[in-house]
Structure 1
């Protein structure tokens, strides 16, 4: 490490800190807008469920958790009114999970809030610097998609 350079472990902490700042502010605003029980893991799950819905098995795969863990998250989201279980038209033995009207609403609200947060970052950093940061992060992202299983590697 050259003199004056930050230690290697600082970069992931800064990236995680930026992530937390955005997500914490998102959830504070969602709470003000009537969604106080929503947690970051719920947002990941609803993104993984998507507009077309999915099964618990596929949701677990998308989140990188067991079918049972996915089922527990779905049960919580269902109790909060964000998702609903429906019969799978392709297999009567299976249930599909889809976003409810409340779930779709919260994702639409989240999109608006994320845009507002990005604009604030651009105002603070400058649009060009923010675009450079986004470009650099895309370059360093090893996946063609954004993996939603971040919670799985924080577990013990």
Structure 2
């Protein structure tokens, strides 16, 4: 047992909290992708989901995708290239500016995002059945009280990059 800054005692080392949070995140993401594979999206990867969210329903330029993800235009371009190869996105002429290319989600991209949302709902229900709905609601409320709203963006993937 060790003392905290305010003098109180606890028997849980502080380093375990971030490890448990990331392990919970990883568990959800791994289960999501296993189910997405079963539902026809075996090539989907976590980074692609963040990128498709950054592209959004209205499309975006590669620069905008990079800004939204917190990565360079070149890094975003590589991810967009892979999304195109897999049929999740396409580059088209921007109807408002013929000099620019717009990245848009294809029907396959929208399908992956729609299925992901439904799968996350199922995973949340499974967690609620395991720990109890009130406890899960409480966990989410607690996390909302300590996590800044801006931290809920799609640029999370860039935070892990060197």
TM-score by length of 2: 0.91
Write the deviation string for residues 16-73 of structure 1: whole angstroms up to 9, x where unpaired. 0000000000000111111111110000001111111111001000000000000000
| Equivalences for residues 26-45 of structure 1 within 5 A | 26-45=32-51
Report the equivalent of 2:139. Answer: 133
Larger Rg: 2
Distance 2:54 2:150 in 1: 15
**What is the aligned residue count?**
156
The DSSP-based 3-state class of the residue aligned with 2:149 is coil
Aligned Cα root-mean-square deviation (Å): 1.3
Distance 1:7 1:139 in 2: 21
Give the one of 78, 82, 97 matched to 2:84.
78
Report the equivalent of 1:57. Answer: 63
Shift in Å, 1:15:
0.3
| Equivalences for residues 1-156 of structure 1 within 5 A | 1-2=2-3, 5-144=11-150, 146-156=152-162
**Which 5+ residue runs of structure 1 have no aligned equivalent?**
none
Shift in Å, 1:151:
2.3
Distance 1:64 1:56 in 2: 12
Distance 1:90 1:155 in 2: 33
Distance 2:71 2:57 in 1: 20
